[in-house]
């Protein structure tokens, strides 16, 4: 089944205790695409870049199964740029620079070929832009997933509430779930968030795994323990990309399959943090993914 993904295609400068990388290809749409194309093709990308972007990288994305028809290239424009430095404990980071550039006037236009897509991943962008994508869809997709962040809760709560009423899956982290709901207990938070619209809630907890709420059913996925996290940037987007790619590939939105999709998303996220940007994803093969899925199985299995 087809998957549509909107988000940023960016250049990042990233500084971590393990080193640095400059002007690397990054952005939520990039990470989603790198993960999702391992499972589903085509992944129809919606984004905006300047004509300064790396053509070889885009060609590689295309070869992997990304459809770039919806990626607007602004002549003479500069691509979105972000720079950040991770703290020594890797638990927090400081933004050093953000240059919206062509993203400032992003007005997504879906090519006709995208409008009847089956699965939609709305990466972290303003809720107004996320809504604009839904507006342009012709059929009702089987599943619309949305990622957002506390920034939009702070400055665009009403548009966020509007788009939440139009989606099926919300994917946020635990801190964001608490802020969105005003509840400390994630159980109470989930109940309130489901009342806002999304039928399914996935709460990412980083090194502590992820939680899936679907009606009265609940699943807790562990995270793999990694010896070294080189660059956490894009882990959440890669998780979402793996998850939605798996769902689109299997075309099964049952609770049992959502659980599997979370494990596949977690596996993909566990790879991306092993190197800067998308480097690790470039060399990833199916045997490596399968081996990591087996690690999840052994991490969780207990006979009670």
Residues 233-272 that bind a copy of itself (CB under 8 A): 256, 259-260, 263
Binder among 69, 205, 253, 289 for a copy of itself (CB under 8 A): 205
Nearest-approach distance from CB 240 to a copy of itself, in angstroms: 18
The tokens describing 204, both together, are 């990412």
Looking at 60-68, 98-106, 225-233, 240-248, which segment touches a copy of itself (CB under 8 A)? 225-233
| Percentages (nearest 5) of helix, strand, coil residues in the chain | 40, 25, 35
104 touching a copy of itself, by CB under 8 A: no
Q: Which is nearer to a copy of itself, 118 or 174 (CB)?
A: 174
Residue 26, C-beta contacts closer than 8 angstroms, at least 6 positions apart: 10, 11, 12, 14, 82, 233, 234, 277, 278
* Edge-first strand listing for the sheet containing 93-99: 19-26, 10-16, 80-86, 93-99
Q: What angle do CA 42, 46, 52 make, to 5 degrees?
A: 110
Single out the segment in contact with a copy of itself by CB under 8 A; choices: 69-77, 160-168, 239-247, 294-302. Answer: 294-302
Draw the binding track, 166-195, toward a copy of itself (x: CB under 8 A; -: no contact).
------------------xxxxx-------
**DSSP 8-class letter at 125:** S
The Cβ-side half-sphere exposure at 121, using a 13 Å CA radius, reads 36
Determine if 287 is a binding residue for a copy of itself (CB under 8 A).
Answer: no
> Under the criterion CB under 8 A, does residue 228 sit at the interface with a copy of itself?
yes
Decide: is 229 part of the binding site for a copy of itself (CB under 8 A).
yes
For 297, the 3-state DSSP assignment is helix
Residues that bind a copy of itself (CB under 8 A): 89-90, 184-188, 205, 207-209, 211, 217-223, 225-229, 256, 259-260, 263, 293, 296-300, 302-304
């Amino acid at each position: 089944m087809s998957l549509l993904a909107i988000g940023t295609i960016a250049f990042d400068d990233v500084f971590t205790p393990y080193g640095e990388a400059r002007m690397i290809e990054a952005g939520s749409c990039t990470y989603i695409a790198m993960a999702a194309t391992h499972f589903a093709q085509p992944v129809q990308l919606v984004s905006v870049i300047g004509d300064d972007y790396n053509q070889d990288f885009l060609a590689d994305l295309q070869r992997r199964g990304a459809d770039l028809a919806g990626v607007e290239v602004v002549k003479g424009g500069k691509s979105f740029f972000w720079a950040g430095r991770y703290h020594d404990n890797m638990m927090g980071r400081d933004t050093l620079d953000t240059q919206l550039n062509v993203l400032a006037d992003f007005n997504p236009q879906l090519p006709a070929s995208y409008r009847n897509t089956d699965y939609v991943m709305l990466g972290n962008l303003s809720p107004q832009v996320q809504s604009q994508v839904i507006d342009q869809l012709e059929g009702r997709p089987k599943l619309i997933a949305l990622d957002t962040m506390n920034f939009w809760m702070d400055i665009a709560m009403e548009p966020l509430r509007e788009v939440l009423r139009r989606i099926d899956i919300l994917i946020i982290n635990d801190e964001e779930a608490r802020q969105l709901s005003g509840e400390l207990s994630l159980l109470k938070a989930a109940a309130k968030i489901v009342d806002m619209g999304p039928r399914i809630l996935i709460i990412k907890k980083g090194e502590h795994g992820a939680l899936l709420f679907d009606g009265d059913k609940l699943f807790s996925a562990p995270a793999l323990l990694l010896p070294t996290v080189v660059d956490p940037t894009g882990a959440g987007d890669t998780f979402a990309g793996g998850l939605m790619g798996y769902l689109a590939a299997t075309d099964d939105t049952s609770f049992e399959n959502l659980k599997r999709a979370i494990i596949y998303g977690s596996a993909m996220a566990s790879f991306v943090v092993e190197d800067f940007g998308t480097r690790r994803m470039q060399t990833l093969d199916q045997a490596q993914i399968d081996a990591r899925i087996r690690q999840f199985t052994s991490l969780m299995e207990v006979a009670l």
